[in-house]
Homo-oligomer: A and B are copies of this chain.
Amino acid sequence: MQLFLGIDGGGTGCRAAVADASGRILARAEAGPANIASDLPGAMVNILRAADHALTELGAQPSMVRAGLGLAGANAAGVAEQLAATLPFAVARVVTDAVTAVMGALGEGDGIVAAMGTGSVFGVQRGGVVRQMGGRGLAMGDEGSGAWIGRAILARALRAVDGLEDMTPLLRALIDEAGGDDRVVAYSLTARPADYAALAPRVLTSGDAAAEAVMQAATDHVAAAVAVLQAGQDLPVVFLGGLGPTFAARLAGRWPIRPALGTALDGALRLARRDT
């Protein structure tokens, strides 16, 4: 019996699933982080650990399976090829976790995915071909993401202190809670994207005029990205991630909005089973 292995690997963990030719899942396993750009050897260990656990249950060998891997960092130059050549599977297809998220969310159909979490990344699937957009990280982009929203509200608070924006209750509260504008600046020198993203829920729910301005700018960025991917079509759009429901609500009516059909792990299994 031909077996198919799907791997969904990211900065917090690595999930494996083994399916038969019909797509029925026979075994699952998990292991530690698998970001191949930031730690290729560590990712390799965790991918093999998760795969071995799942395959051992079935009495199968790695060399018997066709594998699809969606891995954080797979867009870094060269590492996906390097990994694919090293893995012990019969076939190994390595793409970014964004691509498998698109494939899992849309199944076989054409459509667009906006994954809005700490970062933001977009993808379109047409005729089974997936194109990724964005996912550049906070310094270069990640517009509309939780980190982008959190950083934007703090920067706006400082601009309000300087008289460059209207001061609002939320902005005043953020400055005061930090202990003053200088403390906000000090915080920003070491803040990571996840730190900024922790502020996003407060921005979403505050009802403050400054928060609404930041959310409108975020929504405009998301709408612009989706519009480019639509290229004049009216494809269904799936919003993923913690902020997915927020943007789905803000952009309701603009395009057909659909729930995700499956996860990035489902997408990795689709990748493994493709063209067989």
Contact = CB atoms under 8 A, between A and B. Distances in A.
A63 interface: no
A139 B162 CA distance: 16
B184 A140 contact: yes
Given A77-B180, A179-B77, A180-B77, A139 B228 contact: no
A141 to B, nearest CB: 6
A76 B186 contact: yes
Contacts of A188: 136-137, 139-140
A133 B228 contact: no
A136 B188 CA distance: 9
Given A139-B191, A140-B185, A185-B136, A162 B228 contact: yes
Interface string A165-206: 000000000000001101111101101000000000000000
A162 to B, nearest CB: 5
A225 interface: yes
Contacts of A75: 182, 185
A261 interface: no
Interface stretch (A44-52, A151-159, A247-255): A151-159
Contact of A182 (B76, B154, B225): B76
A133 B174 CA distance: 19
Q: Which 4 A-B pairs have the closest CB atoms?
A: A139-B188, A133-B162, A140-B188, A77-B182
29 contacts: A75-B182, A76-B182, A76-B186, A77-B179, A77-B180, A77-B182, A77-B183, A133-B162, A133-B163, A133-B164, A134-B162, A136-B158, A136-B188, A137-B185, A139-B151, A139-B188, A139-B189, A139-B191, A140-B151, A140-B158, A140-B184, A140-B188, A141-B155, A141-B158, A141-B159, A162-B225, A163-B228, A164-B224, A164-B228
